[in-house]
Amino acid sequence: MATEPVFNPVLLDIPDQFETGRLLVRAPRPGDGAILFASVIETLDDLRRYPSSMPWAMEEQTPGRTEEYARRGAANWIIRADFPMFAFLRSTGEHVGNCGLHRFNWSTRVFEIGWWCRRRFQGQGMITETARALTEFAFTHLGARRVWCGADEENTRSWRVAERLGFEHEGTLKSERCDPDGTRRTMRIYATTRD
């Protein structure tokens, strides 16, 4: 009696980039560190406003650290362990921000999505466009059944992206996280599902 082969995500053939109306969204590559560093430095004050949501932003930022992130991101993409994505304006090639699928479970096909937008592009719908396309990517190419996100209650811009995407607000988790200084944080949970 033959047994079904065990699912191996490393063997999953999926595109590592796609386009939207205004953007090229792609997996990180070695050499992307300098591009990412410039965006992070420009946006650092915004990113550090929510330290329990973006603990990496609290660390010292260097070109070496962002290059390491790009290389680890590329490696994780290949082994299907994490799906960080960089968004670039198609018209100019400028880095707009990052969006990714993280902390997922292949057996249940549940994926967490997260995002941040470079300061100069905030308020222009770029991250909504990126996150909409990445959500569709998760359902179409990864067999997702649920895509969810958590946003700090005070990070109105972030949770409004989820609402624009049509994600359902499933609840608010009071005192769910803690900043390094001890400040308790409340998180809003959003999700979208497909059978």
> For the whole model, what pTM was predicted?
0.92
Q: Rounded to the nearest 10 degrees, what angle do helices 126-141 and 156-164 cross at?
A: 50
Kindly report, residue by residue over 91-150, the tens digit of the pLDDT: 999 999 999 999 999 999 999 999 999 999 999 999 999 999 999 999 999 999 999 999
State the average pLDDT over residues 32-46: 96
